[in-house]
Amino acid sequence: MLETATVEPGTPAMLAGFDHARLGHDHHIVFPDLTLRISQGERIALLGRSGVGKSTLLDALRAQLGDQGAWCPQANALVPVLSAYHNIYMGRLAHFSRWQNLINLLRPNRACWQEISALAETLGLDGLLRRQVDQLSGGQQQRVAIARALYQKRPVFIGDEPVASVDPRQGARLLELINERHHTCVVALHQRELALAHFDRIIGLDDGRIIIDAPAHELTPNDLDVLYAPD
């Protein structure tokens, strides 16, 4: 992160934002001049080709939001040799004492197990909690990653392609669940139909700039073509 210019939370509804900020990583600037406000209660979809800076923006948001944000990275951030249960439990590692964490690794805490298996059931992961994550399918892994974010129980959901490898119908169901449990969501997506159907505000990125920022009901799928047009 080169610089994260925080906008003073003047208006009470303001949650996070950037005012002419420069964002990037490792001496590589992705957003030279970014201005963006995110208010409480918004449901935002980030669209754009891969490599336009969606992850960079989400990272910066995550840093700003701190403990308010539940972070759902791509499925490759799971620990493949641990069970699905432990991977979901990891969402709240910081919440529990280190000794409970250590013991839980050997013998799952009963209360946590019950809570997590209830969560797993709503995500269609019932019966898979004991399974090592690298033995799950791509879609199942993705749901484990979502379960981990939900288990964090934070007001804001920040997701990096959380439904990339599930079919559209299931994707819709998962996004509804996410929306239900968080008052604010910022989610990077690549399925534009899902974005238009489940989010209020669409932000389209291209080449380090915001080129679309509009309410979802004002846009049609064709308006989003510009984001994916070859140069």
Partner 1 sequence: MPRTDTPAGWFSWLRGENMGARLLRLTVAMVVITLGLLPWADLSITTHDPWHELGRMLKGMLLPDVTATESPLRALLLTVTFALWGVALGMVLGFPLALIFMRSRLVRTLCAFVRAIHELFWALLFLQVFGLSAITALAAIALPYAATFAKVYAEILAQIDRRPAHMLSPHTDRLSRFIYTELPLAWQRLSGYTRYRFECALRASVLLGFVGLPTLGYYLESAFRQGRYHEGGALLWAFYLLIALLPWWAHRRLLLPWMLGTAFLLGPWPSVNPTLLWQFLNHDIWPQPLLSGDIAALPGWFAHLPNLLPAIGNTLLLGLMSTVGSLMVALLAWPLVSRHFGNRATRAMGRGTLIIMRSTPELLLAFILLLLTGPSLLPAWIALSLHNGALIAFLAARHADETRPGLPGIRGINLYSHELLPRVYPGILALLFYRAEVIMRETALLGMLGVVTLGFHIDSSFEYLMFDQAVALLMVTAVINMGVDVLSRRLRPDALPEPQRQPRPAPVGDSV
Nearer to partner 1, 103 or 118 (CB): 103
The residues in 19-58 that bind partner 1, with binding defined as CB under 8 A, are none
Shortest distance (Å) from residue 185 CB to partner 1: 17
Contact between residue 108 and residue 154 where contact means Cβ atoms under 8 Å apart? no
126 binds partner 1 (CB under 8 A): no
Selected range binding partner 1 among 35-43, 48-56, 101-109, 119-127, rule: CB under 8 A: 101-109
93 binds partner 1 (CB under 8 A): yes
Q: Return the closest-CA partner of residue 11 out of 38, 48, 31.
A: 38
67 binds partner 1 (CB under 8 A): yes
Shortest distance (Å) from residue 193 CB to partner 1: 28
Could you say which of 17, 48, 73, 139 contacts partner 1 (CB under 8 A)? 73
1 binds partner 1 (CB under 8 A): no
86 binds partner 1 (CB under 8 A): yes
Q: Return the closest-CA partner of residue 72 out of 167, 168, 187.
A: 187
Could you say which of 27, 28, 98, 107 contacts partner 1 (CB under 8 A)? 98
109 binds partner 1 (CB under 8 A): no
> In 118-189, where do the E strands start and end?
156-160, 184-188
Nearer to partner 1, 25 or 217 (CB): 25
Nearer to partner 1, 10 or 66 (CB): 66
* Rounded-to-integer distance, Cα 56 and Cα 25, Å: 8
Total residues interacting with partner 1, rule: CB under 8 A: 21
* Rounded-to-integer distance, Cα 188 and Cα 54, Å: 6
Helix (H) or strand (E) holding 210: strand 209-215
Question: CB atoms < 10 A from the CB of 56, how many?
Answer: 21
The residues in 134-163 that bind partner 1, with binding defined as CB under 8 A, are 152
Three-state DSSP at 142 gives helix
What are the angstrom distances between the C-alpha of 231 and each of 4, 30, 209, 224?
Answer: 29, 18, 15, 15
Shortest distance (Å) from residue 133 CB to partner 1: 10
Nearer to partner 1, 73 or 108 (CB): 73
* Rounded-to-integer distance, Cα 174 and Cα 143, Å: 8
Structure tokens at 219: 């846009």
Which amino acid is residue 161, in one-letter code? E
78 binds partner 1 (CB under 8 A): yes
Structure tokens at 30: 């992705």
* Rounded-to-integer distance, Cα 38 and Cα 44, Å: 9
Residue ranges binding partner 1 (CB under 8 A): 66-67, 71, 73, 76-82, 86, 90, 93-94, 96, 98, 101-102, 105, 152
